[in-house]
A = this chain, B = another copy of it.
Amino acid sequence: MKGNLNKELVIRLLKYRRILTQLKSLGFEKVFSNNLGDAIGVAPALVRKDFSLLVLGGNKRGGYRIDYLSEQLNKILGKTREQRIIIVGMGKIGSAVAQYKGFHQGDFEVAAGFDIAPENVLPTVGIPIYPTSEIQSFVEREHIEVAILSVPEDVSTECHKILKNAGIRGILNFTPIELKTTQNCIIHNINIGVEIENLFFQVVKNTLPQDVEASLASIIDEELVDVDSEDTP
């Protein structure tokens, strides 16, 4: 077995766990690799490979025992760690996420929100809101390790610094500024704007032509002509 827990694998494991929890609550006892594959959108062989890699065995013919799988995944993924996070920037998405109750069986909760204008945040978000100046002390006092960043993009890097100085070890960044992971602070960027634009692109690419590849080639050939006539000497 290799210490081979790459990023995609971890995401699949988290998804397996979610599905297993649901299946269990529905009274199922075993599950096959193709069920799980369907549920999270990957090939059954990959499901088997994943489990094989983690030395989680199933039964030939009988599939995998849900209880066992789910318990082992919990150990590997760090089950009921009762993690708590903070949200910096309690605007539209910040507030939405603060009220999100769909996290895996209450595995973690939002401890507080921070904003430069806390008085504008509606109390309906249901968590305490503090001014930005209190981030540092709160993080230290409450031992917070992970933050969500959802401030306007022009203060993105500034807030990033504040969070790093406060000792935050991981940031889920919703601003369109691509922040970078460092030794002490892991960044995951979610860029919803890019996601939508990407979807548009995939849709037109899918819609326009019969033979996708050919059409792309032709689009790019047009470009080539333009290039020649306009810029290249």
Binding site for B on A (CB under 8 A): 1, 3, 5, 7, 10-11, 14-15, 18, 39-41, 54-57, 65, 68, 72, 75-78, 81, 83, 85, 92-93, 95-97, 99-100, 102-104, 107-108, 145-146, 148, 153, 169-172, 176, 178, 180, 186, 188-207, 212-214, 216-217, 219-220, 222-224, 226-227, 230-232
A102 proximity list for chain B (CB < 8 A): 153, 176, 193
Q: Are the CB atoms of A14 and B100 closer together than 8 Å?
A: no
Interface of A is mostly: helix
- Bound-state Cα–Cα, A176 to B104, Å: 10
| Known contacts A14-B197, A96-B96: A204-B57 contact under CB 8 Å | no
A14 proximity list for chain B (CB < 8 A): 194, 197-198, 201
Q: Are the CB atoms of A202 and B178 closer together than 8 Å?
A: no
- Bound-state Cα–Cα, A43 to B54, Å: 32
What is the chain B residue whose CB lies nearest that of A219?
A: B76
Q: Are the CB atoms of B108 and A196 closer together than 8 Å?
A: yes
Q: Are the CB atoms of B198 and A10 closer together than 8 Å?
A: yes
Q: Which of B95, B191, B200, B224 makes the CB contact (< 8 A) with A83? A: B200
Q: Are the CB atoms of B18 and A176 closer together than 8 Å?
A: yes
A54 proximity list for chain B (CB < 8 A): 220, 223
Write the nearest CB–CB distance from A36 to chain B, whole angstroms.
11
A205 proximity list for chain B (CB < 8 A): 5
Write the nearest CB–CB distance from A63 to chain B, whole angstroms.
14
Q: Are the CB atoms of B40 and A178 closer together than 8 Å?
A: yes
- Bound-state Cα–Cα, A3 to B214, Å: 7
A3-B216, A18-B193 are known; give 11 further A-B pairs, CB within 8 A. A10-B202, A15-B191, A75-B219, A76-B219, A78-B200, A81-B204, A145-B203, A145-B207, A169-B206, A169-B207, A186-B199
- Bound-state Cα–Cα, A216 to B3, Å: 6
Q: Are the CB atoms of A172 and B193 closer together than 8 Å?
A: no
Q: Are the CB atoms of B193 and A100 closer together than 8 Å?
A: yes
A85 proximity list for chain B (CB < 8 A): 196
Q: 28 A–B contact pairs at CB < 8 A? A: A1-B220, A3-B213, A3-B216, A5-B205, A14-B194, A14-B201, A15-B194, A18-B176, A18-B193, A39-B178, A41-B178, A41-B180, A56-B227, A57-B227, A75-B222, A75-B226, A77-B197, A78-B204, A83-B200, A92-B99, A93-B97, A100-B192, A145-B200, A145-B203, A146-B200, A146-B203, A171-B199, A186-B202
